[in-house]
Structures are given as structure tokens and as C-alpha cells.
Amino acid sequence: MIGMANGIAPWPEVREGNSNHPVQSLQWLLCLGGHTVTVDGQFGPRTTAAVRAFQQEKGLTVDGLVGEQTWSALIVQARLGDTGDGVRAAQESLAFRGGAGNPIVDGDFGPKTDASVRAFQQQVHDFDDKTFPVDGIVGPLTWRALISGMHTD
């Protein structure tokens, strides 16, 4: 469980009927976990079924809602040199956040994705939380900032 950092919003609750961000990142993370979902940004019945199956596998409350516990179990660390659906999930969130140098969603954590992660982290560090790490690693705190929308205000 991640404590509340200064200026970083808590994990959002996402459910059936939601669309767009962060649903696409959620869907990539479910794919990473071996669940078959279409990454279309629509939280429909198939995504709900995949969330419920994931929650069952992880011993979480099986309710189809994606909140703090489910997000925390879904995320994976991503860093330079990594590839796959976990990287796609991070790239999707980075692209949604906008700004110069955002990577394309290709599943390859190369130099452009690394630069984009560091720029995002620097922004959070400068404007939201002076203790926020700027290390190019998409770990739990960076995930939460990306998924939650970064700011509490």
C-alpha cells in the first residue's frame, strides 16, 4: 500500500461504463497479466470479467472495481530496456498526460520513453512533490501520478 505523497492524488476508482484514460492503461496491464481484453478504452463487460478474474487470482475483493488495491496489484515496474504490455500501459498514460517528447505506444522502453518518463517525473517534482524521484523508472509512485492525474487540486 502506497502512502499519500504530498500533492499526488490517490488511485482513482475505475469501473464498467468508464472510458478513455486510464481504461486503456488498465487494459494493457490486464493483457500483461494474461487476460484477453481489447485495448479500446471502453470499460465494458469483457474488461469487467478480466478485472474480476485478476482480483480472484490475487486474492482481492472480487467486485470488478479497480481501486487502490487492484491498481497496486496490477502495476509493474518499467524502465529503460523493458518491453511489452506493461511498457505500453505506461506509454499510454504518458501520451495522455501530453507534453513534448511523449513516446508512441509501441511497448519498447527506449530512450524516448525514458526521456518522457523523466520529464513527467521532473514536472511532478517541481510542481507537486519536491521528494518525487526523477529516475526514469515507472515504479509505484510514478504509476500513481500517471494514473491518478498527478495533482490533488
- Could you report the per-residue pLDDT of 47-62, keeping only the tens digit for each? 999 999 999 999 999 9
Domain residues for the domain of 58 are: 10-74
Q: What's the pTM?
A: 0.90
- CATH number, domain of 34, equals 1.10.101.10
At 152, is the pLDDT very low, low, confident or very high (cuts 50, 70, 90)? very low
Residues 65 and 16 in one domain: yes
Is the predicted pLDDT of residue 4 greater than 90, yes or no?
no
Considering its fold, how many domains does the chain have in total?
2
Residues 126 and 97 in one domain: yes
Is there a contact between 60 and 79 (Cβ–Cβ < 8 Å)? no
Percent of the chain clearing pLDDT 90 (strictly above): 78
